[in-house]
Amino acid sequence: MKIMIIGASMGLGRALMDGLAQDGNTLYGVARRPPTASSKPTQADWQARQHWISADLSDPQAASELAQACPESLDVLIYNLGIWEDTAFSPDYDFLSQSDQAIRRLVDVNLTGALLAIRHLLPHLLRSTQPRLILTGSTSGLRQSGRPEVAFGASKFALNGLADSLREGYREQGLAVSCLQLGYLNTEDALDVPLQTAAERGQGETIPVHDVLTIVRSLLQLSSASFIRELTLPALRDPRF
């Protein structure tokens, strides 16, 4: 499959980039600063199937430029880009201290960026015989999450609306849209860390990226007759979920 991941250079995006390339897929990773390409002759096969595209989705032109860099047909688009407030997920977070500029930028990246990128890439996706759009949501996008981050939370709720309305508009064309409501991720441990080690780090309060990869792989194995519309994947000890 041809898979594009927006927000691919670090953390979960990088893990999906690597794991799905190892499965034999061709990957297109989009990031503001793509990792420096390894040019060693010993580069693994799967790394040769990773292509990197540089784009800053907060730039108004980015989406249309990205579409030009995109292959004619795309099987899977994973929108994994998301930023949060500087003090988010810490006791220092305070809505009233957020600058107008920071709020604006968060919405621009998390929501407007997603809308524009998807609008420009969707024609490529619809050329696939089995088009799939996967959105990295958050448990902050669900009611009673207990989280006070206003702009982040609003933008993650918005992804659900984006998913819902896109399905409605493109069901007839067979578009599968999946929203993954993820809890706190363990982004310290990359795929090369053993799962068991990664699982132990957060004492059950953070999710190894390996686990998200497992789930995404299973989504891509589904037949052309079904799809996952939404799933909630929290840490096992998440006190809210």
Please give the residues from 197 up to 236 whose contact with a second copy meets the rule CB under 8 A. Answer: 198-200, 202, 204-208, 210-211, 214-215, 217-218, 221-236
Rule CB under 8 A: which of 59-98 touch a second copy?
60, 63-64, 94-96, 98
Q: Decide if residue 53 touches a second copy (CB under 8 A).
A: no
The minimum distance between CB 44 and a second copy, in angstroms, equals 23
Rule CB under 8 A: which of 12-51 touch a second copy?
none
- Residue 71 has what DSSP assignment? -
By C-beta, is 71 or 123 nearer to a second copy? Answer: 123
Q: Decide if residue 193 touches a second copy (CB under 8 A).
A: no
**43, 44, 92, 119: which one binds a second copy (CB under 8 A):** 119
By C-beta, is 28 or 152 nearer to a second copy? Answer: 152
Q: How far apart are CA 155 and CA 69, in angstroms?
A: 27
Stretch that binds a second copy, among 30-38, 65-73, 76-84, 114-122 (CB under 8 A): 114-122
The minimum distance between CB 16 and a second copy, in angstroms, equals 15
The minimum distance between CB 103 and a second copy, in angstroms, equals 5
Q: How far apart are CA 145 and CA 139, in angstroms?
A: 6
Q: How far apart are CA 221 and CA 211, in angstroms?
A: 16
The minimum distance between CB 236 and a second copy, in angstroms, equals 5
By C-beta, is 24 or 123 nearer to a second copy? Answer: 123
Q: How far apart are CA 119 and CA 132, in angstroms?
A: 14
Contact criterion met (CB below 8 Å) for 48 and 25: no
By C-beta, is 56 or 230 nearer to a second copy? Answer: 230
SS (H, E, C) 92-153: CCCHHHCCHHHHHHHHHHHHHHHHHHHHHHHHHHCCCCCCEEEEECCHHHCCCCCCCCHHHH
Rule CB under 8 A: which of 132-191 touch a second copy?
140-162, 164-169, 171, 174, 176, 183, 186
Contact criterion met (CB below 8 Å) for 141 and 160: yes
The minimum distance between CB 125 and a second copy, in angstroms, equals 11
The residues near 153 (Cβ < 8 Å, ≥ 6 apart) are 140, 141, 145, 147
Residue that has been written with the tokens 């990957």 in this structure = 27
